């Protein structure tokens, strides 16, 4: 899983460093808690996002849905939460000095980069045998550095009713 705050540079420029640091601290704490609550591990932070690994794509997808719902609930209650894009891909990876490497890691990062704000974009092959995640907007995309097109879809986290909305923290 890769996450990224959309338009973070514009946000920090308009908010100023001090306010941005508070938003980023809240974001990091909230999303890190969601990752841990779903059995994931933060591999490393990416400045305004996370690279996280999960033993199970179903838990990764459930975590991504929880993250988007957490952000949406905070936005409703407090008037603002940054828009986050999330990309998911299941693949084998090699652990090197506590980090993960391999083509699958690159694919996951590229999928995340294609996601829009508030979107969870997943490779269809990753969730082919996982339910009950409702998918929409299936399409083939080209990923930078990857020879063959990859089929992706959006996980419909807003309307699935699968997981309840989180309490605001």
Structure tokens at 164: 């309840």
- Cα separation, 6 vs 166, in Å, equals 22
Model pTM score: 0.89
Task: Kindly report the average pLDDT of the chain as a whole number.
Answer: 89
**CATH number where 61 lies:** 3.30.70.1230
> For residue 160, is it within any domain?
no
> For residue range 20-29, what is the model confidence (pLDDT) as tens digits?
999 999 999 9
pLDDT value of position 131: 63
Are 5 and 49 spatial neighbours (Cβ–Cβ below 8 Å)? yes
Using an 8 Å Cβ cutoff, are 34 and 70 in contact?
A: yes
Domain with 20, as residue range(s), is: 2-155
Report whether pLDDT(17) > 90.
Answer: yes
Is there a domain that residue 167 lies in? no
69 belongs to a structural domain: yes
* Higher per-residue confidence, 78 vs 147: 78
Q: What is the mean pLDDT of residues 5-33?
A: 95
| Domains contained in the chain, number | 1
């Amino acid at each position: 899983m890769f996450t990224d705050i959309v338009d973070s540079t514009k946000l920090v420029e308009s908010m100023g460093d001090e306010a941005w640091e508070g938003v980023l601290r809240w974001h990091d704490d909230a999303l890190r808690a969601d990752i841990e609550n779903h059995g994931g591990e933060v591999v490393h932070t990416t400045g305004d996002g996370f690279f996280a690994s999960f033993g199970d794509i179903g838990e990764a997808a459930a975590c991504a849905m929880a993250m988007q719902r957490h952000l949406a609930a905070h936005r409703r209650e407090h008037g603002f939460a940054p828009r986050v894009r999330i990309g998911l891909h299941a693949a084998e990876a090699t652990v090197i000095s506590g980090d993960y490497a391999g083509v699958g890691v690159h694919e996951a990062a590229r999928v995340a980069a294609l996601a829009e704000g508030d979107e969870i974009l997943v490779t269809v092959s990753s969730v082919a045998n996982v339910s009950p995640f409702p998918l929409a907007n299936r399409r083939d995309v080209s990923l930078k550095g990857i020879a063959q097109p990859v089929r992706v879809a959006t996980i419909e986290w807003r309307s699935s009713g699968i997981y309840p909305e989180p309490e605001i923290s």
